[in-house]
Amino acid sequence: MSDSHLHEAPLVPESLLDSVSLLSKKWHPAIIRCLSGDEGLGFSDLERRLNGVSAKVLTDALTELQEYEIIERTEISQSPLRVNYTLTERGEELDDVIESLADWGETHLAEPETEQVVLVADDNKRVNTMHTAWLEDEYTVRTAKDGEETLRSLDTDVGVVVLDRRMPGLSGGEVLDWIRSQRYDIRVVVVTSEDVDLDILGMGFDEYLTKPVRKAELRAVVADLFDRRAYSAQLQEYLALQSKLGLLRAEYPDDTLASHELYQRLQDRLDELEPTDEEIDAVDAETLKRVPLGSPQ
């Protein structure tokens, strides 16, 4: 098959075309996979495994594969006639190639298991467009220009909401209260141009970013929040609380916070939620970089 004119090897050698042509036949790879790592199979076993193949097509395919010396036909008994098909050595090698192809297809061609939907809500059109553009290569992005439109765009397909805190009409805080009160399984990052204040104690966000938000920062937070969806509700709450209390500790002196009743309650709640070392080990490293874990005092 290969010729001896080595001085100018063709870009697609004949040998490759031949292999591809062999593998492109519908039943050939399937037959090879069936015979893989087995004691071999009889004709009727193959027919059963290859659901939908006709006896005629299977006979032709087996004959062709024998001609290529990919499979071997052994007669076990003459009367009644019983034959067994097994892979030859070159057949085994081809089976490895087919397995790699299948893996490649699973990685690159298979539809992602579930579509990941992000809802971006901001009354500033420019910010909205920018945040959407930063995320839409990776996620399905819905965009809302105020609190009302956010509620109209919300459903159980949404995984993460990027939520402006101050919007006319229904505010970001009210939208957040709605999401939490309706038990949506949605992680929320609040985005705001305001400084951290004590009002955030009562807000049920998972993360909090101060504007202007950088592209890498937003993408990292959204990816992190999708990861968190896989964690237990308890661990999600723990990470959200750590994030919130961490923000406040960075902004306010300890005694101001200590005298605040809600802060104390949340601190107690945090202690209740304290995850085990194994749970912490399972948390993504990116998340741990963002959320300052460990005891506050």
Partner 1 sequence: MTASATRTVDCGEVAVLFVGTPPIDLQQTYDDVYSDSVDIEVVTDGRAAIRRLIAISESPTEYPRPDLVLLQCDFELPDGMTVLHAIKSSPLLDTMPVIVLDPHETGVERTYEAGGNAHVRTPQTAEEYVDLIGSIREFWFEWAQYPTESLYPDKS
Q: Which residues bind partner 1 (CB under 8 A)?
A: 148-149, 151-152, 154-156, 169-170, 174, 177-178, 181-185
CB 208 to partner 1: min, Å: 21
By C-beta, is 174 or 217 nearer to partner 1? 174
Query: Can you tell me whether residue 119 is helix, strand or coil?
Result: strand
CB 244 to partner 1: min, Å: 19
The residues, any chain, with a CB within 8 Å of residue 286's CB and separated by 6 or more, are 220, 223, 224, 227
By C-beta, is 36 or 171 nearer to partner 1? 171
* Exposure class string for 160-171: b at 16+ Cβ within 10 A, else e: bbbbbbebeebb
CB 125 to partner 1: min, Å: 17
By C-beta, is 180 or 249 nearer to partner 1? 180
Give the integer Cα–Cα distance in Å for 84 and 77.
Answer: 10
CB 136 to partner 1: min, Å: 22
CB 151 to partner 1: min, Å: 5
Ramachandran quadrant class, 64 (left: phi over 0; alpha: psi -120 to 50; beta: rest): alpha
Give the integer Cα–Cα distance in Å for 31 and 177.
Answer: 57
Nearest to 32 by CA among 64, 55, 56: 64
By C-beta, is 216 or 233 nearer to partner 1? 233
CB 161 to partner 1: min, Å: 13
Cα within 13 Å of Cα(161), Cβ side:
35
By C-beta, is 154 or 213 nearer to partner 1? 154
DSSP for residue 3: -
Give the integer Cα–Cα distance in Å for 297 and 288.
Answer: 19
By C-beta, is 169 or 296 nearer to partner 1? 169
